[in-house]
């Protein structure tokens, strides 16, 4: 399943339409059912082009801004995705600096990989990270980002996840002094909880799957 | 028919696929405090339960639905003509609830806290999503006029602010689970519909006995686990005293057995491994039925005997290992 477009907003809107028309209801750990598409690929060719935030996104600007900057603004908590990126594991690895060094030393590198998943902690973690893999590739003198999300709430989280991750992409691009390229995301479970179904289906004007 | 003021309708909010563990929770709720258990129409028995056990549970599930001890609800938008359900949540109510939940979420986000925890956790969205679900379930229960909620997994909000909808989960279940553990109750998930109805008819004393401590714990939120344990220990001590008293009761002599305290304890299966004196226990149960004073003891014995019998049958009937984590 693949959705491709120019902006985050456009790709998200298309993905919701696809989810509502082709998704399957599945049980979830949280109780409420979810409409799910497995292995949803989202490709955004110009992730910084406006409108980045979909007009239909139901949460406030303050909420969006707080979330969108959560991977580039220092977070005090040691239990955060931010901390996993900049201070990973017992050695406190700064993965962001490491991938910058990697790419500066070899622009064609295929090893500029960041991970947030810590198997020693996350198998028992109540709230393990959803974004677990990030890979940066410099191609055509632009910095492309590919991410893998093990689980992605399409309605609440997908837009702000894309904002946060592409803000990180822009942050790294500025360190490398190159332009931002495309953004690609593989959501292994891309889902919409039934509490959001009515609002989402009114937004997309599609029938019950 | 309402059993007493200490029983209430309970909404089950676990996965839409009922596992052995979640079924155990549903039946536990039904025989202790639940007047009725409300499920979404999509809830069904998990395909991962072995066939023979699944058939057993499905039959009880359907019988309980026929007797309206298990009831179903649905969203209006589902528009499922084949679906039979007793309550429908209308679209306008869903929209209002949706806005209200989102408003609450934004407020908590703005405050930088979520359920008393730091908002920026390892996975901020995961926390927010969980919180939304908890608020949504409370809202659903309110709209459907269901007084309490039974969870598969304890929600985080229970550690922070309280809703009266948590009453079963945070108080009643803790008490009854503690007592069931102390009484070494076998799993109750294989009880038949008939068993469940008969046990329920004996549970009033349990609810009445627990009413006072439970109501007082509702005032001193959050309840202290130690105080719940202490109270449950007291109840078990009372049971012990009842057993001693029972052993001395002259009216039991007609049973034609040399009754000692130890033999009564063994026969009642309450404090010792079950069914040492099973036949004698049958006679004892008949006697207990006529003595209201001992009805809580009878409830415990009835539940234990029936649950043990049905659990043993289920184990024999199934090639699969039955694992429970109560």
For residue B112, give the chain A residue with the closest CA: A66
pLDDT digits (tens, 9 = 90+) for A192-208: 999 999 999 888 764 33
pLDDT the model gives residue A206: 47
Report whether the peptide linkage leading into residue B263 is cis, meaning its omega lies within 30 degrees of zero: no
Chain A 74-93, residues with CB within 8 Å of chain B CB atoms: 75-77, 79-82, 84
The Cα of B93 is separated from the nearest Cα of chain A by a number of Å equal to 11
B77, A201: Cβ pair inside 8 Å?
yes
B109, A75: Cβ pair inside 8 Å?
no
Closest C-alpha to A187, from A131, A134, A127: A131
pLDDT the model gives residue B159: 53
Whole-angstrom distance, CA of residue A44 vs CA of residue B170: 46
pTM of the complete model: 0.80
pLDDT bin (cut points 50, 70, 90) of residue A76 is low
Q: In B, which residues are within 8 Å of A149 by CB distance?
A: none
Structure-token match 């009725």, residue found: B36
ipTM of the complex: 0.81
Top pLDDT among B88 and A36 is at A36
Whole-angstrom distance, CA of residue B190 vs CA of residue B307: 7
Lowest mean pLDDT of A44-48, A114-118, B173-177, name the range: B173-177
For residue B80, give the chain A residue with the closest CA: A208
Q: In B, which residues are within 8 Å of A28 by CB distance?
A: 15
Q: In A, which residues are within 8 Å of B40 by CB distance?
A: 33
A82, B120: Cβ pair inside 8 Å?
yes
Q: What is the CATH number of domain A2-141+151-204?
A: 3.30.572.10
Residue pair A123/A114 in contact (Cβ under 8 Å)? The answer is no
pLDDT the model gives residue A209: 33
Residue pair B319/B194 in contact (Cβ under 8 Å)? The answer is no
pLDDT bin (cut points 50, 70, 90) of residue A45 is very high
A79, B122: Cβ pair inside 8 Å?
yes
Q: Is B68 exposed, middle or buried (0-12, 13-18, 19+ CB in 10 A)?
A: exposed
pLDDT the model gives residue A182: 98
Q: What angle do CA A125, A130, A131 make, to 5 degrees?
A: 130
Mean pLDDT of A155-183: 96
A29, B15: Cβ pair inside 8 Å?
yes
pLDDT bin (cut points 50, 70, 90) of residue A82 is confident
Residue pair B272/B278 in contact (Cβ under 8 Å)? The answer is no
User: Is pLDDT of A118 > 70?
Assistant: yes
Whole-angstrom distance, CA of residue B55 vs CA of residue A139: 58
Residue B25, CA distances (Å) to B73, B104, B150, B182, B199 in order:
19, 30, 8, 17, 16
pLDDT the model gives residue B120: 47
B120, A32: Cβ pair inside 8 Å?
no
pLDDT the model gives residue B273: 42
Mean pLDDT of A164-172: 96
Chain A 148-207, residues with CB within 8 Å of chain B CB atoms: 153, 156-157, 160-161, 193-199, 201
Question: What are the residue boundaries of the structural domains of chain B, listed by start?
Answer: 8-180
For residue A157, give the chain B residue with the closest CA: B125
User: Is pLDDT of B10 > 60?
Assistant: yes
Q: In A, which residues are within 8 Å of B122 by CB distance?
A: 79-81, 84, 125, 127-129
pLDDT the model gives residue B60: 96
Residue pair A45/A182 in contact (Cβ under 8 Å)? The answer is yes
pLDDT the model gives residue B307: 87
Lowest mean pLDDT of A39-53, A70-84, B249-263, name the range: B249-263
The Cα of B196 is separated from the nearest Cα of chain A by a number of Å equal to 25
A194, B75: Cβ pair inside 8 Å?
yes
Mean pLDDT of B254-265: 51
Residue A133: strand pairing partners:
A115, A148
Map residue B182 onto helix, strand or coil. Answer: helix
pLDDT the model gives residue B280: 53
Q: In B, which residues are within 8 Å of A193 by CB distance?
A: 129, 133
A157, B123: Cβ pair inside 8 Å?
no
Q: What is the largest CA-CA distance in chain A?
A: 53
B136, A58: Cβ pair inside 8 Å?
no
Tokens found for residue B87: 């309550």
**What average pLDDT does the structure give for chain A?**
90
Mean pLDDT of B4-12: 76
**Best of B18, B90, B129 to disrupt the A interface by mutation (most A CBs within 10 Å)?**
B129
Residue pair A131/A149 in contact (Cβ under 8 Å)? The answer is yes
User: Percentage of chain B surpassing pLDDT 70?
Assistant: 67
Whole-angstrom distance, CA of residue B109 vs CA of residue B119: 7
Q: Is A208 on the interface with B (CB under 8 A)?
A: yes
Q: How many residues does chain B have?
A: 326
Whole-angstrom distance, CA of residue A46 vs CA of residue A180: 8
Chain B 118-147, residues with CB within 8 Å of chain A CB atoms: 118, 120-130, 132-133, 136-137
Q: In B, which residues are within 8 Å of A34 by CB distance?
A: none
User: Is pLDDT of B252 > 60?
Assistant: no
User: Is pLDDT of B276 > 50?
Assistant: no
Residue B248, CA distances (Å) to A91, B255, B295 in order:
70, 13, 17
B102, A27: Cβ pair inside 8 Å?
no
Chain A 92-131, residues with CB within 8 Å of chain B CB atoms: 125, 127-130
A199, B95: Cβ pair inside 8 Å?
yes
pLDDT digits (tens, 9 = 90+) for B94-153: 999 999 998 888 776 555 554 444 554 456 777 788 888 888 999 999 999 998 888 776
Lowest mean pLDDT of A9-13, A60-64, A68-72, B136-140, name the range: A60-64
User: What DSSP string runs through A24-49?
Assistant: EEE--TTSS-EEEEEEEEEEES-TTS
User: Is pLDDT of B274 > 50?
Assistant: no
pLDDT the model gives residue A24: 95
Q: Is A76 exposed, middle or buried (0-12, 13-18, 19+ CB in 10 A)?
A: exposed
pLDDT digits (tens, 9 = 90+) for B186-216: 899 999 999 999 888 888 877 877 777 777 6
Give me the helix-helix angle, A95-105 and A158-176, nearest 10°.
50
Residue pair B156/A127 in contact (Cβ under 8 Å)? The answer is no
Report whether the peptide linkage leading into residue A51 is cis, meaning its omega lies within 30 degrees of zero: yes
Bridge-based pairing of strands B8-12 and B148-150 is parallel
The Cα of A50 is separated from the nearest Cα of chain B by a number of Å equal to 23
Tokens found for residue B268: 């009642």
User: Is pLDDT of B158 > 80?
Assistant: no
Tokens found for residue B156: 């985080």
Q: What is the DSSP letter of B223?
A: P
B105, A59: Cβ pair inside 8 Å?
yes
Which residues have C-beta within 8 Å of that of residue B55, sequence separation ≥ 6? none
pLDDT bin (cut points 50, 70, 90) of residue B277 is very low
């Amino acid at each position: 399943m693949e959705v491709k477009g120019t902006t985050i907003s456009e790709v998200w809107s298309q993905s919701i339409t696809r989810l509502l028309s082709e998704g399957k209801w599945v049980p979830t750990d949280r109780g409420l059912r979810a409409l799910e598409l497995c292995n949803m690929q989202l490709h955004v060719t110009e992730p910084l082009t406006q409108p980045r935030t979909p007009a239909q996104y139901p949460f406030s600007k303050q909420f969006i801004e707080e979330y969108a900057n959560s991977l580039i603004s220092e977070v005090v908590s040691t239990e955060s995705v931010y901390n996993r990126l900049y201070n990973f594991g017992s050695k406190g690895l700064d993965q962001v600096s490491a991938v910058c060094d990697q790419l500066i030393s070899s622009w064609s590198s295929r090893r500029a990989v960041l991970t947030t998943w810590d198997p020693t902690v996350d198998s028992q973690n109540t709230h393990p990270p959803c974004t677990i893999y990030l890979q940066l590739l410099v191609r055509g003198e632009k910095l492309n980002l590919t991410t893998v999300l093990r689980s992605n709430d399409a309605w609440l989280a997908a837009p702000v996840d894309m904002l946060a991750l592409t803000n990180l992409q822009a942050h790294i691009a500025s360190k490398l002094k190159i332009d931002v390229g495309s953004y690609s995301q593989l959501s292994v479970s891309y889902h919409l909880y039934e509490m959001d179904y009515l609002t989402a289906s009114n937004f997309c004007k599609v029938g019950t799957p | 028919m309402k059993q007493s003021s200490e029983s209430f309708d309970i909404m089950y909010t676990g996965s839409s696929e009922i596992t052995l563990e979640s079924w155990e929770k549903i039946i536990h709720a039904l025989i202790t405090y639940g007047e009725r258990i409300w499920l979404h129409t999509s809830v069904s028995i998990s395909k991962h339960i072995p066939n023979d056990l699944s058939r057993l549970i499905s039959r009880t599930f359907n019988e309980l639905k026929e007797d309206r001890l298990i009831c179903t609800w649905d969203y209006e938008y589902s528009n499922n003509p084949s679906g039979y359900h007793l309550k429908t949540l209308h679209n306008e109510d869903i929209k209002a609830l949706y806005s209200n939940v989102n408003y609450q979420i934004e407020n908590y986000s703005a405050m930088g806290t979520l359920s008393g925890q730091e908002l920026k956790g390892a996975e901020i969205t995961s926390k927010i999503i969980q919180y939304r679900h908890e608020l949504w379930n409370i809202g659903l229960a309110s709209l459907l006029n269901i007084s309490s909620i039974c969870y598969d997994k304890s929600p985080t909000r229970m550690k922070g602010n309280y809703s009266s909808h948590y009453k079963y989960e945070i108080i009643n279940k803790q008490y009854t689970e503690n007592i069931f553990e102390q009484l070494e109750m076998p799993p109750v998930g294989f009880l038949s519909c008939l068993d469940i109805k008969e046990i329920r008819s004996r549970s009033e004393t349990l609810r009445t006995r627990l009413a006072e401590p439970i109501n007082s714990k509702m005032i001193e939120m959050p309840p202290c686990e130690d105080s719940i344990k202490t109270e449950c220990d007291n109840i078990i001590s009372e049971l012990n005293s009842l057993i001693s008293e029972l052993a001395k009761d002259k009216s039991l002599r007609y049973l034609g057995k040399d009754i000692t305290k130890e033999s009564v304890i063994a026969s009642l299966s309450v404090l010792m491994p079950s069914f040492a004196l099973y036949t004698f226990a049958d006679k004892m149960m008949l006697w207990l039925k006529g003595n209201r004073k001992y009805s809580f003891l009878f409830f415990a014995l009835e539940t234990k005997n029936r649950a043990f019998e049905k659990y043993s049958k289920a184990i024999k009937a199934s090639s699969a290992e039955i694992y429970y984590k109560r």
